Amino acid sequence: MTAGRGDETGSSISGGPIDFDRLEVIRERLATDDRFTEVDDQPSFAPERLVCQYDQRLYPERVRSARLEIVWFENGDFSLHYHEAHGTGAFNHRWDRHPSGHNARDHIHPGPDAPTPGNDTTHPTDWRDVLSTVLSEIETRQRGFWTG
């Protein structure tokens, strides 16, 4: 199954099919992680993605929900989108590797509003390091709610 949409996480942007095997490995790892209350692969609203709902206890009341959406392609491209829903708006941040007319292949669309174009960057080569980096950056944001 491949994504049919032409958005920034669809296969038409990457040029490659969705790597469902990789998403399954990630799902298995994150399904046992206490940070998440639900890890859903191929939800009806995003069948090409893995959607991970963060435990609400990690956030103050003003953050109504938070999730990480992951799509990975067989050619090594990816998009990881972190989203928080707030009572008065949202926070979005995205880490991407895909061909782009607006940025280098490796780039981020930083929070709070994940603008396009984003910022060129360099992501790790190994997918496990990419995932670890993203989860660490989200954890730093979560800690920031409770400190200083």
User: Please, what is the end-to-end C-alpha distance for the chain in angstroms?
Assistant: 46
Q: What is the DSSP letter of 113?
A: B
Element (H, E) at 146: helix 127-146
**Tens-digit pLDDT profile for the chain (148 aa)?**
333 333 443 445 667 899 999 999 999 999 999 999 999 987 777 778 999 999 999 999 999 999 999 999 999 999 999 999 999 999 999 999 999 999 999 999 999 999 999 999 999 999 999 999 999 999 999 999 998 6
The whole-angstrom separation of Cα 63 and Cα 98 is 30
Residue 30 to residue 26: CA distance in whole angstroms: 6
- This prediction has a pTM of 0.88
Give, as one character, the DSSP assignment of residue 24: H
Of 3, 126, 131, 139, give the one whose Cα is nearest residue 66: 139
62: helix, strand or coil:
coil
- Cβ-contact 107, 96 below 8 angstroms: yes
Going from the C-alpha of 84 to that of each of 32, 38, 99, 101, 132, the distances in angstroms are 21, 15, 26, 27, 19
